[in-house]
Amino acid sequence: MTRLSVNLNKVALIRNSRGENLPDLVQVAKDCESFGAQGITLHPRPDERHARYSDIPALLEVVQTEFNIEGNPNPRFLDLVLNNPPHQCTLVPDAPGVLTSSEGWDTIANHDFLKTTIAKLKDKGIRVSIFLDPVEKFVEGAFKVGADRIEFYTGHYAKGYTENPSDAVAEHVKAAKLAGELGLGLNAGHDLNLENLKFYKSSIENLLEVSIGHALISDALYYGLENTIQMYLSKLR
């Protein structure tokens, strides 16, 4: 079964809006796991507008399933991860002021940087995934820089799904096949939701993990967090 990792950035955003600790991010992480989530994801950005760097060690103490830290590997982020080793670190090429992650790495142009960065993380026993568009040459590049996994950016898939699901997923299918041939583990994330998740899961070979935050937390406003997590898990079975 494909694992569900719940991204808690939107929970942190709500917390920060009042300058207090409500909702309590640590308690929400524990509850998500008790409700069936198989991982917790956090993506601290340099301005800390939602997830804070101080959230990382606090979550590391309580997460019992799998902790995935995402982010742009600038020096501050790398220091944070290396000093608080998670199960997985997902490298994302976010510009400092970007609203959300909307494109993957060019693994050819950034070959040397990625190879050096990945080696540092793997030396600490951290599994490394890199955020990619479903482009075969970039998948091959991810293999060459030593990544353990790749995470496909699914934003374009989600937009195209309502018009033509088969066309929307076609490039992902081809790139996933190559990833499997190269021995790369495969994750996916961005704009996956209750409408498009099942089709994506059924189309992609060897999909190990999806990371979902915005849609899941939005759905939880209507269905409740426990019910929502179970609804997402049902799409992955």
Catalytic machinery residues: 43, 70, 190
Alpha-carbon separation of residue 12 from 8, 17, 160, 205, 227 (angstroms): 6, 9, 29, 33, 20
Q: Which residue has the tokens 């033509």?
A: 164
3-state secondary structure of 4: strand
Single-letter code of the amino acid located at 52: R
CB 117 within 8 A of CB 75: no
Alpha-carbon separation of residue 8 from 109, 185, 200 (angstroms): 31, 23, 22
Buried b (16+ CB within 10 A) or exposed e, 13-34: eebbeeeeeeeebbebbbbbbe
What value does the CA radius of gyration of the chain take, rounded to a whole number of Å? 17
Tell me how far apart the alpha carbons of residues 179 and 181 are, in angstroms, rounded to a whole number.
5
Tell me the HSE value of 135 on the side-chain side, using a 13 A CA sphere. 13
